[in-house]
Structure 1
């Protein structure tokens, strides 16, 4: 509750209404669905802002207020979804490769966010799929 008030306070001087924020979120979601920028481990907010021609502040504000997440949490959740898809799709279980293919820079970052988002390690997730 307090953090939500801080976020709203932080953006009080920016004149974005909920319709514009919804439009930005739609543009961001469409971008990642089509261009799959999250699969590039070097992808960042600057690149997204340039490609969409929407300011970083507007993108950040929209993600924070509409989705209650920040850019890196958002992009890592997309990467984890991709990793889950790859784990489900592939017979092999080389999770390091799957992490790289999903856009993570290294094994520890992949494992950290995978467990944080799914509540399971990649190998435990794979076991649950097989049960």
Structure 2
């Protein structure tokens, strides 16, 4: 992923959260306005108008479409959280023994320092962590290792799981946005930095900093 693609991904994620809210407000706001106007007609408050009388019938399918669209987006978010939980379960055993040497190392023929530097360079220059779908397999392919090798590399050299390593970059990026763009909503910051939901973002951010994203932003404003 080159820098230009990274910027495109950044912008795409930035507007994702805002669009979901905007679609919801516009669709249901329009439906309620039309419904109230129709109700006022039947109460004799408003005069007869064919568009007014039948507008609720025509706008309902549109609202239904937006509702289904939002449900689909929510499903994708929950699917991402489910995959993250599964990943944590699968790596739990590794995390609990991260300070122990592997009984049968898979890194004997690998220059670990150079490979770790390559991974660091890829993460900082291409910013693949902005993509919610980035996982251990994709990262391993990028640096020419197997999933097992990458996992062992991070655990033996840095003492962290891939998920923790990945989230450290996302949290760093989030801190930057929270400081430099105070008008950006917390939801947009979450999606922009690659998190699948605001809840997951809040949990990881507090785990890393000891405070919520909102508290971090307010602290920065106070210091300024």
- With the length of structure 2 as denominator, give the TM-score of the two structures: 0.53
8 Å CA contact 1:24, 1:59 repeated in 2: no
Q: Tell whether 2:117 aligns with 1:26.
A: yes
Shift, 1:117, TM fit: 0.4
Q: Report the counterpart of residue 54 of structure 1 in structure 2.
A: 145
Segments of 4+ in structure 1 off by > 4 A? none
Match of 1:74 among 165, 170, 173: 165
**Structure with bigger RCO (C-alpha 8 Å, 6+ apart):** 2
Q: Tell whether 2:189 aligns with 1:98.
A: yes
8 Å CA contact 1:114, 1:121 repeated in 2: yes
8 Å CA contact 2:98, 2:160 repeated in 1: no
Match of 2:199 among 108, 114, 128: 108
Shift, 1:58, TM fit: 1.6
Larger Rg: 2
Number of residue-to-residue matches in the alignment = 126
Q: Report the counterpart of residue 3 of structure 1 in structure 2.
A: 97
Q: Report the counterpart of residue 14 of structure 1 in structure 2.
A: 105
- With the length of structure 1 as denominator, give the TM-score of the two structures: 0.88
For residues 144 and 136 of structure 2, what CA distance do their matches in structure 1 show?
12
> Which stretch has the larger CA shift, 53-62 or 35-44?
53-62
Q: Report the counterpart of residue 123 of structure 1 in structure 2.
A: 214
* Cα root mean square deviation, aligned: 1.7
Once the two structures are superposed, what CA deviation does each residue of 1:2-39 show, in whole Å capped at 9, x if it has no partner?
8345x42xx2212535x822222111111101111100
Match of 2:180 among 82, 89, 106: 89
